[in-house]
Each structure stands twice: as structure tokens, then as C-alpha cells.
Amino acid sequence: MKLYYSPGACSLSPHIALKEAGLAFEAIAAPTKTHKLPDGSDYYAINPLGYVPLLVLDDGRQLREGPAIVQYIADQVPAKKLAPASGSFERYKLQEWLNFIGTELHKGFSPLFNPAMPEGGKAVSRTRLTSRLQWLDGELAKSPFLLGDTFTVADGYLFTVTSWCKHVGIDISGLTHLAAFIARVAARPAVQEALRAEGLLK
């Protein structure tokens, strides 16, 4: 398998999932600013949409949406329990969390990274994101991970997205349960491996 990623972007989530799963893969940098691959070729030739992540299987088939990619990874190694069993109620709870992170959090950060977005628009986005994060903090008071006591691919996605707060002026220092969650996930060996591989941890 090949994972196309950009350091610190949402592709960190499947990068973490692959490390947690212990699967063999090749990580290929596809920086979102240049779209140039290490060999100098154009990333758009592989993924016309131009964004990351992109997972390419050994037979050439592709998955290009993070929530789908991480579930695929989890299902390759069910013994690791990175996702509940397909068809179970808990699997739908995982999908609920992946959708919440993707639509209510992930996309909410997009205006804050856009230099063309007026400051007024960014303020609206920060307010909305902060309210979602406050609610999330309450949910994390109930259990160490999103689905209870077990780390899943949803936790890797949440960790990835909340790591952007410090870059866009969102203060989460008062959200103690979220802060504890971030520290808990950051301490996982597989997460540290992924961070080092992307040059995000010395």
C-alpha cells in the first residue's frame, strides 16, 4: 500500500491508523502547497482532486477520503480493535464520530487556514468550533476515548484535527478533558512513530 500525505494535514489520521495496525506501507509526501511528489512529478496526475490523504492498494485501487480509509485499514486487522465489527451498533457509533469530526470540526478549520477569508468570517468559524469543542470536552469526561476504553481510528482523526487549534488561535487550555485526551493519544508509540515520520516530532 501507498499513503500519500502532507505533513500535519488530515492525512496524519490514516498515517496513525497504519502505524497502529502494523501494516506494511509506503508513505509518500504530497505537500498541499506544491503538489509535487519527491520524484518531481505532479500529484494531480495521481489524484485529480489534489488533496490528501490518498491510499493506493497494491492492485492499484484507490481510496481518497480519510474516514473511509481509516475504516478500511482497521478492517484489515480486526484483532487490533481499531474499529468495532461491521454491522454492530458500535460500528455505527464510530461512523457517527467520524462524520462529526469530518463535518463539524475538520471542515470548520478550513476558513481559518484560508488567507483570503476575511477576519470576520474567521471569527464566526472560531466561535462555532469553540462551541463544538466545548461539547466534545463534556463527552470526553465520560471515557478516555470516543468509544469508551479502547482507542479507535476515530481517536486518531480527532487527535489530528484538534492539533490544528494552536495554529489558528483557538484556545483549548480550559478544556481539561480534551487536553487530557490529546496527551493520552500523543503518548501512544504508534502515534509518535507517525509524528516522527512526518517531521512533527523530534
| Structural domain containing residue 46 | 2-81+190-197
pLDDT lower than 70: segments of the chain: none
Asked if 31 and 101 sit in the same domain, the reply is no
The answer on 99 and 33 residing in a single domain is no
Q: Decide if 202 is inside a domain.
A: no
My answer on whether 75 and 95 are in the same domain is: no
* pLDDT confidence of residue 105: 97
180 shares its domain with 95: yes
Alpha-helical regions (H) of the chain: 12-21, 66-76, 89-100, 107-113, 119-140, 153-162, 176-186, 189-197
Same-domain pairing of 97 and 180? yes
Same domain, 74 and 98: no
Looking at residue 68, which CATH number applies to its domain? 3.40.30.10
Assigned domain for 44 exists:
yes
CA dist., res. 61 & res. 147, Å (int): 30
**Structural domain contains residue 69:** yes
178-189 pLDDT tens trace: 999 999 999 999
Judgement on whether residues 55 and 117 belong to the same structural domain of the protein = no
> 102 and 34 in one domain?
no
Tell me: the pLDDT tens digits for 120-149? Answer: 999 999 999 999 999 999 999 999 999 999
Query: What is the enclosing helix (H) or strand (E) of 1?
Result: none
Spatial distance between the Cα atoms of 8 and 41, rounded to a whole number of angstroms: 21
Whether 97 and 18 map to the same domain: the answer is no
According to the model, what pLDDT value does residue 67 have?
A: 98
Q: Based on the domain organization, do 22 and 47 belong to the same domain? A: yes
